[in-house]
Amino acid sequence: MVSKNEPRMPIALGLHGAAIYLFLYLPIVLLVFFSFNKNPSGTFPVTGLTLDWYRQLGDDYFMLTSFKTSLIVALTTVPIATFAGTLCAFGLVRTEFRFKTLASSFVLMPMVVPGILLGAAILVVLRTVLGVPLSIWTTVMGHVVVTTPYAVLAVATRLYGYDRVLDSAAADLGANPLRVFWHITLPLITPGIIAAALIVFTISLDTFGVTFFTIGSGSTLPMYIWAQVEMGIRPTVNALGTLFIVGSIAILLIAHLLLRK
């Protein structure tokens, strides 16, 4: 499956890689930096260092509810989108049928419509046409629609990627389809499913467009941040962003250490 000798890393390539990481994290570093900046406009100049913004976060009832709502929506979206996406991936990769191109276009289509416009249209359908009340569930469904295409692609890659010979070998040895799936397929595509879950979670947490019109009276984190920035209270959201980044890096490192084989 893989060549015996690991290919080397030319210096130019290494520099490019480092440069891109720098590019990716420069705004983040600044964000963290400004979260300690006394200047209430949250930008240069640096007028002093303080932990005030972090303290203010703790009292912020709106932020906490928005965060909770965002988390609930994201955590509900992940299993649904990942499940639906995985099924679709199987349907697209593992089967042959006449309208497969059409089916694949249908599955990927939601990526094409800008979120905020889709959200408005969903609102009209739900309320004016169907008379369905808005709730966390309507938002979750909106998020599922928007994130499933990504899940499909993440799992499909993995599903198609591994050597099918393993499947037929197991079948030849007498395993029925279910056992093949459980013992061979599932473990091999698990990284793809995890990747799908991660991507869905990330996108759901940061989605503003679809959410605004479908959330009803609730508020999610992106909506909260938009409102805060509108009010000019940027440093507290800087603190929030910093906590997120630090938290997620911590989780990543722990996962890396635990999962190292």
Partner 1 sequence: MAWMNWPNTRREFLKTSALAGAAAALGAKLPSVDPARAATLEGPVNVLSWGSRNFQMQIDDFLQATGCHVNFTGASGNSENLAKIKLGGGDQYDIVGVDALWVPKFYQEGVIEVFDFEKMPEYQDLFDEFKKMTVWKVGNQWMAQPWAWSPLVLWYNAEKIKTPPTSINFLFDPELKQRIALTRQQEDVVAWMGIAVGANNPYAMTDEELAKAKEALKRLMPNVLKFPPQEEELVRLAADGSIWVTALSAGGAIRIKEAGGPTMKGFIPPEGVIGYFDGDCIVKGAKHRDAALAWLAHRVHSKYVLPNVEKYKRPLAYKGPLEILKKDGRGDFAHTIFYDQPEILSKMVIIGPPPNVGAYLDIFNEVVGG
Partner 2 sequence: MATIADRVNVAPERRAGIRLVPPLLAFLPITLIDFFFFVLPMLVMSIVSVLVIREFHITFQLTAENYLFFLKNPLYLKVLGKSLLMALATTVICIVLSFPFALFLTRLPRSIQKTMLVLVILPFWTSYLLRVYAWMTILGERGLINRGLMNLGIVESPIRLLLYNDYSVVLVAVYLYIPFSTLALYTNLERLDRSLIRAAMDLGARPIQVFLHVVLPLMLPGIFASFIFVFIPMLGEYVTPAIIGGAHGLMIVNVIVSQIQALRFGIGSAMVVVLVALILALVMVLRKSARLEKIYGF
- Site residues for partner 1 per CB under 8 A: 39-41, 43-45, 47, 59-62, 65, 120, 123-124, 127-128, 133-134, 212-213, 216-219, 223-224, 226-233
The overall longest dimension of the chain from CA atoms, in Å, is 72
Q: Which stretch binds partner 2 (CB under 8 A): 47-55, 57-65, 166-174?
A: 166-174
Does the footprint of partner 2 cover residue 110 (CB under 8 A)?
Answer: yes
Closer by beta carbon to partner 1, 67 or else 213: 213
Distances (CA, A) of 89 to 86, 94, 155, 159: 5, 8, 6, 8
Shortest distance, CB of residue 140 to partner 2, whole angstroms?
10
- Verify binding: residue 116, partner 2, rule CB under 8 A: yes
- State the nearest-atom distance from the C-beta of 232 to partner 1, in Å: 4
- Residue 200 vs 210, nearer CB to partner 1: 210
Measured distance CA(203)–CA(56) in Å, rounded: 27
Give CA–CA dist 165/183, Å, rounded: 14
Of 160, 153, 119, nearest in space to 139 by CA: 119
What one-character-per-residue DSSP string does 114-177 give? Answer: -HHHHHHHHHIIIIIIS-PPP-HHHHHHHHHHHHHHHHHHHHHHHHHHS-THHHHHHHHTT--H
109 is a contact residue toward partner 2 (CB under 8 A) = yes
| Shortest distance in whole angstroms from residue 83 CB to partner 2 | 7
Total of residues contacting partner 2 (CB under 8 A): 110
Of the residues 72, 103, 136, 188, which one makes contact with partner 2 according to CB under 8 A = 103
Decide: is 167 part of the binding site for partner 2 (CB under 8 A).
Answer: yes
Q: Does 49 bind partner 2 (CB under 8 A)?
A: no
Q: Is 73 in the site for partner 2 (CB under 8 A)?
A: no
Rounded to the nearest 5°, which phi and psi values hold at 125? -65, -50
Q: To 5 degrees, how large is the angle CA 233–CA 238–CA 242?
A: 160
Q: Which does 102 bind (CB under 5 to 8 A by kind): partner 2, partner 1, none?
A: none
Specify the residue, 49 or 121, whose C-beta has the smaller distance to partner 2.
Answer: 121
The CA-CA-CA angle for residues 149, 150, 155, to 5°, reads 100
Cis preceding-peptide flag for 177 (omega within 30 of 0):
no
- Exactly one of 63, 92, 196, 233 binds partner 2 (CB under 8 A); which one? 92
Radius of gyration of the chain (CA): 23
